[in-house]
Amino acid sequence: MFDSLFGIHERALYAAADRISVLATNIANVDTPNYKARDYDFAAVLSGTSESDGLTLTRTHVGHLPLAAGGEASADLKYRIPYQPSLDGNTVEAPVEQAKFAENAVRYQTSLDFINRRIATLTTALTGQ
Amino acid sequence: MSLLGIFDISGSAMNAESMRLNVTASNLANADSVATTPQTAYKSRHPVFATQLREFGTNPNFDEPGVGVRVLDVIQSGAPANKRYQPDHPLADPTGYVYGSNVNPVEELTNMISASRSFQGNVEVMTTARELVLKTLTLGH
């Protein structure tokens, strides 16, 4: 029962939290020459197409760096295609990033709200009031 | 938790942008400085930003995408000094010339606006992240 307690929102919350970090990096590097803006394909992350059988890298040498906790490469992290390429090689467009950031913050709060209401429902059921 | 990492990312960006503002202030303050030789004339300075790579070993979650900004270097403009004929100036060389700074005030002012906007953007990011973290902390209450 508890595996499906929060439905997709548990996963959506993690995805949104990761994405906030990426978008914050883009906004932080808005003036860095040659920085390429990145973003997750949110739908792909949520549907789990790229995560379930994620790309794993074979380590053929002891000196090779291990990947993150899951041992999967972050295949969903893509580079953004700018509307107006900049001369200094930076592909961050502040308005685009700010819009995405705001949208993602709302997504995060929505997931949080659903989880909160689920907890409230269960608390009501448990206390029987 | 990746939300807490945002404070490092935005913090490094705010640090870099405030340094940019600082350099711009220094350039504008010295816009009218004069010197006797072109070598000693004030040269406008510009910070060079670079992506801050996370040091290996500091974070077990090595694949985490969040990276901040650092100021790689502060370079001096190679533009020629502003040569003016002012024989009555106390700093004039024997031929009567003084050498002013190569600061371009228009360039500096646009730099200042850009730095201030970027700084504000990062403040917004930090405020939002703070709100989300606080809301997450009260989960279930």
**A110 inside 8 A of chain B by CB:** no
CA distance B24 to A52: 50
* ipTM > 0.90 for the complex: no
Please answer whether residues A117 and A59 qualify as being in contact, where contact means their C-beta atoms are separated by less than 8 angstroms: no
pLDDT digits (tens, 9 = 90+) for A3-48: 678 888 888 888 898 899 899 999 999 999 999 998 988 777 777 6
pLDDT given for residue B58 in this prediction: 52
pLDDT digits (tens, 9 = 90+) for B86-116: 999 999 999 999 999 999 999 999 999 999 9
Residue A50 CA to residue A45 CA, distance in Å, equals 7
Cβ(A28)–Cβ(B69) under 8 Å?
yes
Look at residue A129 and give its three-state secondary structure.
coil
Q: Which of B61, B65, B117 is opposite residue A25, by nearest beta carbon?
A: B65
Residues of B with CB under 8 A from a CB of A: 1-3, 5-6, 9-10, 12-13, 16-17, 20, 48-51, 56, 60-69, 114-115, 117-118, 121-122, 124-125, 128-129, 132, 135-136, 139-140
Site from A13, A31, A80, A123 to mutate, B interface, most B CB atoms within 10 angstroms: A31
Cα A96 to the center of its chain, rounded Å: 17
Sign (positive or negative) of CA dihedral B29, A86, B9, A66: negative
Chain B hits for A73, CB-CB cut-off 8 Å, are 63
Hey, is A2 helix, strand or coil? helix
| CA-based nearest distance A35→chain B, Å | 7
Q: Which residues contact B137 (CB under 8 A, 6 or more apart)?
A: none
Show Cβ contacts of residue B92 under 8 Å, excluding neighbours closer than 6 positions: B36, B86, B98
pLDDT tens digits, A35-91: 999 898 877 777 765 444 455 667 777 777 665 544 444 557 888 999 998 899 999
CA angle B59, B62, B66 (to 5 degrees): 85
Q: Closest CB to A105: pick one of B48, B49, B132.
A: B132
Give the Cα separation of B4 and B7 in Å (integer). Answer: 6
Q: Quick check: A101 contacting B, CB < 8 Å?
A: yes
Contact B121/A105, CB-based, under 8 Å? no
Nearest CA in chain B to A13: B136
What is the band of B57 on the pLDDT scale with cuts at 50, 70, 90? very low
Contact, A77 vs A40, CB < 8 A? Answer: yes
What average pLDDT does range B57-65 have in this prediction? Answer: 50
Q: Is the dihedral of CA B77, B78, B83, B88 positive or negative?
A: positive
Average pLDDT over residues B118-127: 94
Those residues whose C-beta lies under 8 Å from the C-beta of residue A129, and which sit 6 or more positions away, are none
Residue A71: predicted pLDDT: 45
Tokens of A3: 């595996």
Cα separation, B49 vs B45, whole angstroms: 13
What is the SS3 assignment for A57-125? CCCCCCCCCCCCCCCCCCCCEEECCCCCCCCCCCCCCHHHHHHHHHHHHHHHHHHHHHHHHHHHHHHHH
